[in-house]
Every structure is written in structure tokens, then in C-alpha cells.
Amino acid sequence: MADLNQDTVTEAVIAQMASTPDPRMRQVMESLVRHLHGFAREVKLTPEEWLAAIGFLTRVGQACTPYRQEFILLSDTLGLSRLVNLMDDQANRVGEATETSLLGPFYREAAPQFGYGDSIAVHARGPEMMLFGRVVNEKNEGVPNAIVEIWSTDADGAYDLQANDPSVMDMRGQFRTDAQGRYAIRTLIPLGYSIPMDGPVGDMVRAQRRHGFRPAHIHMLVGAEGYRELVTALYLGNDPHIDSDTVFGVSETLIVQPRTGLADSPDPGLPSVHYDFHISRRAPHDKSGRVGADPSKVTAE
Ligand code: BEZ
Ligand code: FE
């Protein structure tokens, strides 16, 4: 142990942690130490820089509340949430199942229930659109009674949680598919918005001269008995930030463009999007597809 130098300290730490009984924890921590030390060596980290980083991480923790998870926002803006989602999709997504996207911090449990074709805009006003299609299984058969949850910004790019009275729910709802697996939702055309920029993550994003915007999108959560819960979002292809999402949530297969005159739309006069959600059977080891900035799922011990 004596006479450690910068070439031997990494192995000394790993040797001391070798007593960890949980094999996965041992593997993760060994790799973490190797990469952290490698990073410090690569950038020749100075004590002042490391103190500044500790100050930043402290501010990130202090910004967290039951309604705000600044660490997940940090993970999102560093692309780590997307990386974890992509790896999980590659390991567990079956066949043609719809790709996942970030849950984000604005999901709420117990959203109001609506019927086929109803509007989720109870208070908000703005240009409307129709989202419709089917929830289908691996054989392209409609899944009846699937739950389709939607939450979206109003036409100004704000969620109900950001309104003056966040106890009022608006622009969100739960729908059930019919016997053929069909759903139809009337909503407002969403607007792109800035991630919360009033905390340390916002300071970081500004220091990097990034714009901080997410392209306009509609969040969706689709589930049915015996199927893997799908957490995803549909992105409007004409948004100026479609190729530079600050949290890296966009996939090509999730980009849509509302168009009027779609013959099979429940209201062809409205700009409409026909999108079928493909869900896959739940495997015995599956937990939930909810990977993202959902503060209610983060536990502090
Ligand atoms: C969202 O889409 O709601 C979101 C996702 C990650 C960070 C901030 C917002
Ligand atoms: Fe969002």
C-alpha cells in the first residue's frame, strides 16, 4: 500500500474493493474506478477543477425536490439516459416493437380517462390535431383494452406542471383501445420547449453554448396485460431542433408530420397522424420500460 504513485493507485483501489460480495456491484465499481481514473489522467485533472466539479455536483443534488430531479436532467443532457435506453432496447426490444424514448420529468400518474376521439385539451387552447391508429402485437393483431397514455405541452410549449396551479391536470389523459386495438386522441399541436434552465444543469448547457431545446413531441405510454410497457414519444419532423434535441430522445422511426385529409382519420379536416404502436410480450425477467426522468421512480436511501 505504501508509496502509491499515479500508475499504481488504480490497482490499489480495485484490490481493496475485491472483497465486495455482490459480483455485479464488484464489476460495476471496478469498471467505474478504472474509467474515472483514466479520465482524470487523460485530462490531467487539477485539484481546483476537481473541487469545482464537486461544487457543481453538490448544486445538482441541492436542486432536487420531490418535483424536480436535476441528476436525471444531468444524465439526459449528457446522453447517458439515451445510452441506457438504447442498450435496454437492444437487449429486450422484440422484433418490430416501437422504439422507446425518454419518459421525461412531466409524467403524472392518475391522468383523467377519456373515450375514443376525445380531446385532452380541457383548458388549453390552440391549433388542434388528431392522433390515431392501433396498438398491435408481434403478429400485427390489434390489442384490445390496451391503455394508451398521452401527455403533451399546450400550444405555448408548457406542461400543466409548469402552470401557476400545477394541481390542475390538463393536456394529458388515459385512453383504452377498442376491440380492434384502435385508439384516437384529439390534442393540440405541441410546441418545442426548453428543458429547465434555472439550475446547475442549465448553467452547464449555457456554458457549452447549447440551445437547451427539445423538439416538439407528444409523450406516450402504452401498456396491456401480459405486454412490456412501452414508454415512447412522437416527434414533429418540421421542428427546427429535430436534429439537435438537448436530451437526445429523437429516433427516425418516431418522427411524424400531421397532415390534413387523411381518409382514415376520425376527423380528416384536422391535421392528423396515423401511428401504430407495436408492443411485445412481457418476458419473465422484464421490470418496466420506464427509463427516464421520472422523479417518482428515484429512491434515495
Ligand atoms: C421531456 O420531454 O419532457 C423532458 C425529457 C428530459 C428532460 C427534460 C424534459
Ligand atoms: Fe416532454
Q: Residue 216: which CATH number?
A: 2.60.130.10
Distance 144 CA to ligand 2 centre (A): 27
Instruction: Tell me: do 86 and 21 sit in the same domain.
Output: no
* Residue-level pLDDT at 293: 46
* Residue-level pLDDT at 170: 94
Q: Is 77 helix (H, G, I), strand (E, B) or coil?
A: helix
Instruction: Tell me: do 85 and 39 sit in the same domain.
Output: no
Of 159, 195, 236, the one to substitute when testing ligand 1's pocket (max ligand atoms within 8 A of C-beta) is: 195
As for how many domains the chain has, the answer is 2
- Ligand closest to Cα of 102 equals 1
Residue 116 is assigned to a structural domain of this protein: yes
Instruction: Tell me: do 95 and 241 sit in the same domain.
Output: yes
Instruction: Tell me: do 216 and 283 sit in the same domain.
Output: yes
The residue whose CA has the least distance to atom 4 of ligand 1 is: 104
Residue 60 is assigned to a structural domain of this protein: no
Which residues are within 8 A (CB) of 40 and not within 5 positions of it... i.e. 6 or more apart? 50
Residue 199 is assigned to a structural domain of this protein: yes
* Residue-level pLDDT at 147: 97
For the Cβ of 73 lying below 6 angstroms from any atom of ligand 1, the answer is: yes
Q: How many residues are given for the chain?
A: 301
Residue 280 is assigned to a structural domain of this protein: yes
What's the whole-model pTM score?
0.89
* Residue-level pLDDT at 157: 85
User: Which residue bears the cell 469545482?
Assistant: 52
Residue 185 is assigned to a structural domain of this protein: yes
Half-sphere exposure of 129 (CA within 13 A, CB side): 23
Instruction: Tell me: do 276 and 171 sit in the same domain.
Output: yes
| Domain carrying residue 249 | 70-294
Phi-psi sector, 256: left (phi>0), alpha (psi -120 to 50), beta: beta
Instruction: Tell me: do 215 and 280 sit in the same domain.
Output: yes
Residue 53 is assigned to a structural domain of this protein: no
From first to last of the 301 residues of the chain, give the pLDDT tens digit.
Answer: 678 999 999 999 999 999 999 999 999 999 999 999 999 999 999 999 999 999 999 999 999 987 788 999 999 999 999 999 899 888 877 778 999 999 988 898 889 999 999 999 998 999 999 999 999 999 999 999 999 999 999 888 889 888 777 788 999 999 999 999 999 999 999 999 999 999 999 999 999 999 999 999 999 999 999 999 999 999 999 999 999 999 999 999 999 999 999 999 999 999 999 999 999 988 776 665 554 444 455 555 4
Ligand 1 atom, smallest distance to 233 CA: 2
Residue 234 is assigned to a structural domain of this protein: yes
For the Cβ of 102 lying below 6 angstroms from any atom of ligand 1, the answer is: yes
For the Cβ of 192 lying below 6 angstroms from any atom of ligand 1, the answer is: no
Instruction: Tell me: do 102 and 156 sit in the same domain.
Output: yes
* Residue-level pLDDT at 31: 98
Q: Which residues on neighbouring strands pair with residue 183, listed in sequence order?
A: 133
Alpha carbons 137 and 114: distance in angstroms, whole number: 23
Task: From residue 162, give the alpha-carbon distance in Å to each of 55, 98, 212, 244, 281.
Answer: 28, 29, 17, 23, 35
- Ligand closest to Cα of 171 equals 2
Instruction: Tell me: do 148 and 235 sit in the same domain.
Output: yes
Residue 64 is assigned to a structural domain of this protein: no
Instruction: Tell me: do 30 and 95 sit in the same domain.
Output: no
User: Which residue bears the cell 396491456?
Assistant: 224
* Residue-level pLDDT at 88: 87
Instruction: Tell me: do 23 and 134 sit in the same domain.
Output: no
Instruction: Indicate the helix (H) or strand (E) that contains 105.
Output: none
Instruction: Tell me: do 30 and 120 sit in the same domain.
Output: no
